[in-house]
Amino acid sequence: MVTTGTRDAPNQPPPLVGYNLFLENPALAGALKHEGAAWAAARATDLGALLTGEPLEWGRLANEHPPRLRTQDRFGNRIDEVEFHPAWHSLMRTSIEHGLHALSWREPRQGSQVARAALFFLAAQVEAGHGCPVSMTHAAIPALRAAPELAQEWEDLLTSPEYDPGLRPAAEKRGALCGMAMTEKQGGSDVRANTTTARPTADGGYELVGHKWFCSAPMCDAFLVLAQTDEGLSCFLLPRMLPDGTRNGFRIQRLKDKLGDRSNASSEIELDRAWAQLVGEDGRGVQTIITMVNHTRLDCVLGTAAAMRTAVEQATHHSAHRSAFGKLLVDQPVMRSVLADLCLESEAATLTALRLAGAFDRNEGALARVGTAVAKYWVCKRGPGHAAEALECLGGNGYVEESGLPRLYRQQPLQSIWEGSGNVICLDVLRALRRAPETLEAFLTECREAAGAEALLDRWVDALERELRDPDGRETRARRLVERMGIALQASLMVRYADRAAADAFCGSRLGHDRDLTYGTLPTGVDIAGIVERHRPKL
């Protein structure tokens, strides 16, 4: 009779380390190619191999040792500094050196947005919080270009491949990061309710007085900020350190104690006669900063899709090595159906995110405008439920912090809130359709790229078009409309780019008359085992 001691660990999966995040992700690798960035495959392969080594530990440490605020030094002088664990700096250095903040702008070639998106996806799988300053720095460039002189002064710093933390004047920096501060406690997403004021100064700048309720990554070197001038709400670039070496009037009041995103500092700030420079046209701050927001919204989709992929990897790996009731979990029909459904959701999210990056690459402005907002709503809305179902596949093991899934579960709701929560995004989609009718035509054209290949999809898109062209009660129906738009876009991409089994399963479960969006309710007759095996990482 064989016995095991309590120190043994039978029937447990081996650690999921040492594999290549990129090569083991067929959806991401395929999307990189068909979206025109095959030239970046070697870079993605290198980063994919690197990230499943020591960076996994950096991610754990950065979340277990969150940032700390130091408002004063030992003598009582105001310093407003945020201290991070060394693991945070290792993550930031890795992402900056691999160009996640700048590749699109440093190498403006076909597929550069897609290549950068794929690299960002890979890094977000390992640790999501540090993606915030990386994302904002990347997105700040097109907004800054509305002020050519400012762009000339800052762009080389913001796209530098050197990670150079520490508060110093821009002239002394080898690289810089840019954040943003828009929302205020009395307005939130209604940024036109902002009360921060901006008054001209003798040197051509502005003096800002007010507060911001949420300022992500307050350790950045500069920020895009909204404030009111005599002409209305305007956009400004505010450096933390002034050219003469003195600190600007940027006061960090506190760091937010958040549900997730623990590694990243999010703060409440006061602007005490802070000096800033106008970006774009006076009185048109929302129009200026929305250029930045469109890019960060895409990164919300990428971040959610990345977390979905991590959840799929953990759930399929665990199930392939854990036995119950005489079989491996992956061979239990009901578990296999759940796993396959999680794989489909992950693949559809990945294809959607990379397709939208391709729209930015190809200057498909109408599709990028509405498609990014639709995906921001639908993909990010699916994130928390996906994480919860994947966690449940591991049972009690998944509920334990060491599995990494609780951290992922806490992170997923953020993507649905940041850059506009669900209702705000749905109203934004309706606004785009109303003010720019070409966005509707671009969206429907994209969905019909798969016309004739799947009858369920054809009927879905036809019905969707009738709904979208009906102006009655649009706002009341906003969530239904945007959900149906999101599913149509995903289904079209799955039909075009996924293998036949995955496309059939996705369309049958999401577009059929008896559709049920509960995971594990796939139609019969689908190669469920093949779907799971295709997505399971191989060590």
Q: What CATH number did the domain enclosing 483 receive?
A: 1.20.140.10
Domain range enclosing 344: 287-535
Q: Is 21 domain-assigned?
A: no
Q: Is the dihedral of CA 290, 291, 297, 299 positive or negative?
A: negative
Average the pLDDT over 228-239 and give the result.
97
**pLDDT tens across 177-217, in order?**
999 999 999 988 888 889 999 999 999 999 999 999 999 89
Distances (CA, A) of 413 to 177, 273, 416, 418, 489: 25, 35, 5, 9, 22
Nearest alpha-carbon partner for 390 in 402, 411, 406, 379? 406
CB 301 within 8 A of CB 352: yes
396 and 367 in a single domain? The answer is yes
229 and 362 in a single domain? The answer is no
Q: Is 407 domain-assigned?
A: yes
CB 391 within 8 A of CB 463: no
147 and 97 in a single domain? The answer is yes
**pLDDT tens across 21-49, in order?**
999 999 999 999 999 999 999 999 999 99
422 and 460 in a single domain? The answer is yes
Asked whether the predicted pLDDT for residue 255 surpasses 90, the reply is yes
For residue 13, give the DSSP letter.
P
User: What is residue 127's three-state secondary structure?
Assistant: coil
317 and 246 in a single domain? The answer is no
Give 398-434 as a DSSP string.
Answer: HHSGGGSHHHHHHHHHHHHHTTS-HHHHHHHHHHHHH
102 and 221 in a single domain? The answer is yes
* Among 248, 283, 318, residue at a domain's last position: 283
Asked whether the predicted pLDDT for residue 471 surpasses 90, the reply is no
- Please give the pLDDT value at position 389: 98
**Can you tell me the distance from the alpha carbon of 163 to that of 130, in angstroms, rounded to the nearest whole number?**
13
310 and 253 in a single domain? The answer is no
Average the pLDDT over 130-152 and give the result.
97
Asked whether the predicted pLDDT for residue 499 surpasses 70, the reply is yes
- Please give the pLDDT value at position 275: 98
CB 272 within 8 A of CB 78: no
CATH classification of the domain holding 205: 2.40.110.20
Please report, rounded to a whole number, the percentage of residues in the chain having pLDDT higher than 70.
99
* Among 236, 259, 283, residue at a domain's last position: 283
Q: Is 374 domain-assigned?
A: yes
H-assigned helices in 362-404: 365-393, 396-399
- Please give the pLDDT value at position 287: 92
435 and 464 in a single domain? The answer is yes
Q: Is 78 domain-assigned?
A: yes
Domain count, the chain: 2
441 and 373 in a single domain? The answer is yes
Q: Is 350 domain-assigned?
A: yes
Q: Residue 401, exposed/middle/buried by CB under 10 A (0-12, 13-18, 19+)?
A: exposed
pTM of this structure: 0.96
Q: Which two tokens stand for residue 154?
A: 């800052």
- Please give the pLDDT value at position 1: 44
Q: Is 471 domain-assigned?
A: yes
CB 192 within 8 A of CB 219: no
**Can you tell me the distance from the alpha carbon of 187 to that of 226, in angstroms, rounded to the nearest whole number?**
13
Q: Is 17 domain-assigned?
A: no
278 and 320 in a single domain? The answer is no
375 and 494 in a single domain? The answer is yes
Q: How does the average pLDDT of the chain come out, rounded?
A: 95
* Among 236, 260, 283, residue at a domain's last position: 283
164 and 296 in a single domain? The answer is no
For residue 68, give the DSSP letter.
E
For residue 469, give the DSSP letter.
T
Q: Is 486 domain-assigned?
A: yes
Asked whether the predicted pLDDT for residue 3 surpasses 60, the reply is no
Give 327-364 as a DSSP string.
Answer: EEGGGSHHHHHHHHHHHHHHHHHHHHHHHHHHHHHTT-
